[in-house]
Structure 1
Amino acid sequence: MAEEAIYVPRLAIGLVHYPVRDRQNKTVATNVTNFDIHDIARAAQVYGVERYYIIHPMQDQLMFVERVLDHWRTGQGAKYNPKRKTALGPVHTSESVEKAIADWNVPGALIISTSAKDEGLKKYTFAELRHEMHVEKRPVFMLFGTGNGMTEDLLKSCSGTLESIRGAPPQDYRHLSVRSAVSICLDRVMGPW
């Protein structure tokens, strides 16, 4: 008897550098970091993410990302560390969230934001989003903000917000690096448990 093919949900992620908030709640653009390129790409590869978009409106920041990608995909880095080349395969750059979603071009995808704060928006628990993805077979584009989180307008434009990752009681500390948050979220919605 032939084995049934395993269904892998369609998932893209975006690391949003603009529009995000600073500590004074002003809309700003944050800088791309080398760690975020590499570490999130590795997590994306582990959990079957189709595309990982680094979203920034400034060309110099996108050019920085492209130089890093070129080094590891086709330069000396590709020979030095072939696994890094594989991990960086799904990484793309985009000038805006809208352009990233259009580039992925998957009709009917849920656009899900993430936030450490309770923003008062439509919420998806991890279990609900996992059900949408694995049972209802809904594709998902998940956005992760940098700085002090995505702007309210961007959050409101999404299909919903994923529940926040809670810290251990009694403190409920919620100040993870975005790399850690991405890894936890991907494991909860894509992990084989």
Structure 2
Amino acid sequence: MRLYLGLVHHPIKNKLGELVTTSVTNLDIHDISRSCRTFGVKKYFLVTPFDAQRELVDSILGHWEQDHANAFNPDRQDALAIARAVDSIETAIAQITEIEGQRPLIAVTGANFESFDGDVKDLTKKLEVLNMPCFLLFGTGWGLHPIALEKAEYKLSPIISKNSDGYNHLSVRSAVAIYLDRLFGE
């Protein structure tokens, strides 16, 4: 599977369902990069329209490209090499299309969608039949805003625990790792 991952900071919903931009966090940059690298994701896009946030991401990524940081922890630089900040979902789609020579199927995740298209096995089968790359989007804050969902061609079913009492609010880092394991794990 040719998978690309996007951590979307805009367009996002806040607690009231309003359109917002969320903050980029250092943990998301590092931990999600490591999960992506472990499972063979081709590129990890951090999507934010704010120059200052993209500059922060570039600064963090640049630190690990320096000789002393790379010598201290080469595995970290290896993982972070697949990450990049972009200003929009559309920019990431354009970059994937340039790399792959075709537009990716856009899949989204979320615990509170009204309907779903299937689980990861269904998505994998669809991608095999269509022979397409996939751009899998994860939301921050209270989830992807309807503006982002309009781009989706596939809505993944949520992660649900058999032991759950209805609580379902995983960190995005945890959700990414679980979905990647379901897509690529044994």
Please confirm whether the aligned pair reaches a TM-score higher than 0.5, indicating the same fold: yes
| Structure-2 separation of matches of 1:119 and 1:152 | 12
1:123 aligns with 2:117: yes
| Partner SS for 1:124 | coil
Cα-Cα RMSD: 1.5
Segments of 5+ residues of structure 2 without an aligned counterpart are: none
Quote how far apart the aligned CAs of 1:123 are: 1.4
User: Structure 1 73/134 Cα, relative in aligned 2: closer, same or farther at 3 Å?
Assistant: farther
1:18 aligns with 2:10: yes
| Structure-1 separation of matches of 2:11 and 2:162 | 30
Q: How many pairs are equivalent?
A: 183
Segments of 5+ residues of structure 1 without an aligned counterpart are: 1-8
* Conserved? CA contact 1:166–1:173, under 8 Å: no
* Larger fraction in helix: 2
Quote how far apart the aligned CAs of 1:160 are: 1.6
**CA deviations over 1:108-131 (Å, ceiling 9, x no partner):** 4210011011233x5121210122
TM-score by length of 2: 0.92
| Partner SS for 2:94 | helix
1:66 aligns with 2:58: yes
Residue 109 of structure 2 is matched in structure 1 by 114
Quote how far apart the aligned CAs of 1:134 are: 4.9
**CA deviations over 1:54-78 (Å, ceiling 9, x no partner):** 0000000000000000001225321
TM-score by length of 1: 0.89
| Structure-2 separation of matches of 1:180 and 1:133 | 24
Moved over 6 A (4+): none
* Conserved? CA contact 1:130–1:190, under 8 Å: no
Residue 172 of structure 1 is matched in structure 2 by 166
* Conserved? CA contact 1:11–1:140, under 8 Å: yes
Please say which of residues 36-45 and 147-156 is displaced more in the overlay.
147-156
| Structure-2 separation of matches of 1:185 and 1:134 | 18
| Partner SS for 1:14 | strand
* Conserved? CA contact 2:12–2:19, under 8 Å: yes
| Partner SS for 1:123 | coil
1:33 aligns with 2:25: yes
Residue in structure 2 matching 1:86, options 45, 67, 78: 78
| Structure-1 separation of matches of 2:152 and 2:183 | 18
User: Structure 1 108/63 Cα, relative in aligned 2: closer, same or farther at 3 Å?
Assistant: closer
Residue 137 of structure 2 is matched in structure 1 by 143
Please say which of residues 89-98 and 130-139 is displaced more in the overlay.
130-139
Residue 152 of structure 1 is matched in structure 2 by 146
